[in-house]
């Protein structure tokens, strides 16, 4: 699975290789509400074909109409702003008060897109600096905390995985979760020392290691942009990773298992030196409650909780597996339904 931006860059390279003229459109700034964040990409071919998006569709429609009527003749990048007035905001489908600024870049050899794509496919975090006056781009390795910047003369954009995910276990659930994480711009490492689970691992663009989980966690030097999910159901492996991960700055640490198994796990971790505060960071049972039963559905549940944590959402306010089942049991016993808290009482494979 490709991330949205990677798909846009791949498509742009393919169009250029076929001899077509291509515009690369980047969201550089938004005011108020807007459909897409800064950094979002869209590519447009000289016949109006589009890859990616920068809005809910109306801005794309306007640009497609302009290209189909006039073609692509620009040689240098330029900036445009949509939604300055209330009438224009309504016309282009922007929320009330929303304004979006775009840099529209005619692509050429000096845009260095094939080189950028190659470095991204190698897992590198890349800073691309575009000179508006010449259209030439420079590439460099980006710092983990690098940010997009646009001052009218230069556009600095950051491409590649900004977040890291470590999965403990190479089973079927890990496959689905890894694919979803790749699509959300995570750099994915899978750790499993068991040969029977790793011999057939074949998810492209993931990193597979066979070292012990605690060694892997320490070697990765987890920071605030890291998430760890233990999925083996084997305390000898999961607990090793969790003991180290919970002591790290990782923004998310989760573990597969039932409520009873999770309680036992917390007790074990406290015995091995994890503090009460560190233990409270553990998401277990992992994921939000959506009544999931199959590995793909469980992966959706877990990935949704990771994304919520990444985006600063208070995950304690989400309906977790345990909360939903407690509410369902209360409903069954009292004959009353608890509004907005009961989503079904069936057990899920990750809470049995």
The per-residue pLDDT for range 138-193, each reduced to its tens digit, is: 999 998 778 999 999 999 999 987 789 999 999 999 999 999 999 888 989 999 99
Q: Which of 101, 130, 159 corresponds to the end of one domain?
A: 159
Neighbours of 333 (CB within 10 A): 8
In a domain, 349, yes or no: no
Tell me, what's the pLDDT at 289? 87
pLDDT in tens, 62-110: 889 889 988 898 899 999 988 755 566 556 555 545 688 999 999 999 9
127, 185: one domain? no
Residue 275 and residue 203 in one domain: yes
Same structural domain, 143 and 250? no
Which residues on neighbouring strands pair with residue 103, listed in sequence order? 26, 79
Residue 351 lies in a domain: no
Q: Answer positive or negative: Cα dihedral of 71, 74, 78, 84.
A: negative
Asked if the structure places residue 341 within a domain, the reply is no
pLDDT band at 340 (very low <50, low <70, confident <90, very high): very low
CATH number at residue 314: 3.40.50.720
Distance CA 336, CA 342 (A): 11
Instruction: State residue 351's pLDDT score.
Output: 46
- Say which residue, 200 or 328, is predicted with more confidence: 200
Q: Is residue 99 domain-resident?
A: yes
Range from 28-32, 100-104, 168-172, 303-307 carrying the lowest mean pLDDT: 28-32
Q: What is the mean pLDDT of residues 8-14?
A: 95
pLDDT of residue 145: 79
Does any domain span residue 347? no
Indicate the range of 30-44, 172-186, 194-208 predicted with least confidence: 30-44
Q: Answer with the one of 140, 159, 178 that is the final residue of a domain.
A: 159
What is the extent of the structural domain holding 216? 163-334
User: Does a structural domain hold residue 301?
Assistant: yes
pLDDT, one tens digit per residue, over 15-27 is 999 999 999 999 9
User: What is the per-residue pLDDT for 275?
Assistant: 94
Closest CA to 158 of 187, 126, 185: 126
Q: What is d(CA 327, CA 340) in angstroms, rounded to the nearest whole number?
A: 10
- State whether 13 and 152 are in the same domain: yes
In this prediction the pTM is 0.68
Task: Mark whether 193 and 100 lie in a shared domain.
Answer: no
**Could you give phi then psi for residue 97, rounded to 5 degrees?**
85, 0
Q: Are the C-beta atoms of residues 240 and 218 closer than 8 Å to each other?
A: no
Averaged over 272-277, what is the pLDDT? 93
User: Among 143, 159, 175, where does a domain finish?
Assistant: 159
Please state the domain count of the chain.
2
149 vs 29, 137, 146, 153, 166, CA distance in Å?
A: 9, 14, 9, 10, 30
For residue 44, being part of any structural domain is answered with yes
Domain co-membership, 201 together with 236: yes
Distances (CA, A) of 168 to 18, 208, 222, 229, 261: 42, 10, 14, 6, 17
Domain assignment present for residue 348? The answer is: no
- Looking at the fold, whether 282 and 175 belong to one and the same domain comes out as yes
Residue 34: the pLDDT is 63
């Amino acid at each position: 699975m490709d991330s949205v931006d990677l798909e846009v860059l791949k498509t742009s390279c393919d169009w250029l290789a076929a001899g077509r003229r291509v515009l690369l459109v980047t969201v550089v700034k938004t005011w108020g509400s807007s459909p897409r964040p800064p950094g979002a990409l869209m590519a447009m071919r000289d016949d109006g074909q589009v890859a990616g998006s920068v809005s809910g569709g109306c801005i794309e429609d306007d640009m497609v109409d302009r290209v189909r009527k006039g073609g692509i003749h620009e040689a240098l990048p330029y900036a445009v702003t949509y939604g300055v007035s209330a009438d224009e905001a309504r016309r282009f489908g922007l929320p009330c008060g929303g304004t979006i600024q775009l840099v529209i870049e005619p692509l050429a050899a000096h845009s260095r897109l094939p080189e950028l794509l190659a470095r991204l496919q190698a897992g590198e975090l890349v800073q691309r600096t575009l000179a508006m006056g010449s259209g030439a781009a420079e590439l460099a390795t980006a710092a983990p905390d690098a940010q997009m910047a646009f001052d009218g003369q230069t556009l600095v954009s950051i491409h590649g995985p900004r977040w890291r995910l470590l999965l403990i276990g190479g089973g079927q659930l890990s496959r689905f979760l890894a694919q979803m994480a790749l699509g959300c711009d995570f750099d994915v490492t899978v750790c499993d020392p068991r040969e029977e689970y790793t011999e057939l691992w074949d998810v492209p663009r993931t990193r597979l290691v066979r070292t012990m989980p605690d060694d892997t966690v320490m070697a990765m030097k987890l920071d605030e942009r890291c998430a760890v999910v233990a999925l083996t159901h084997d305390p000898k492996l999961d607990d090793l990773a969790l003991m180290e991960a919970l002591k790290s700055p990782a923004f998310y640490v989760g573990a597969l298992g039932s409520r009873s198994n999770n309680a036992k796990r917390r007790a074990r971790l406290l015995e091995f030196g994890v503090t009460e505060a560190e233990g409270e960071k553990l998401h277990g049972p992992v994921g939000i409650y959506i009544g999931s039963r199959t590995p793909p559905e469980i992966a959706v549940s877990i990935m949704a909780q990771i994304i919520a944590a990444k985006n600063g959402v208070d995950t304690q306010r989400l309906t977790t597996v345990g909360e939903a089942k407690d509410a369902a049991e209360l409903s069954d016993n009292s004959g009353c339904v608890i509004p907005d808290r009961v989503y079904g009482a069936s057990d899920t494979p990750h809470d049995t």
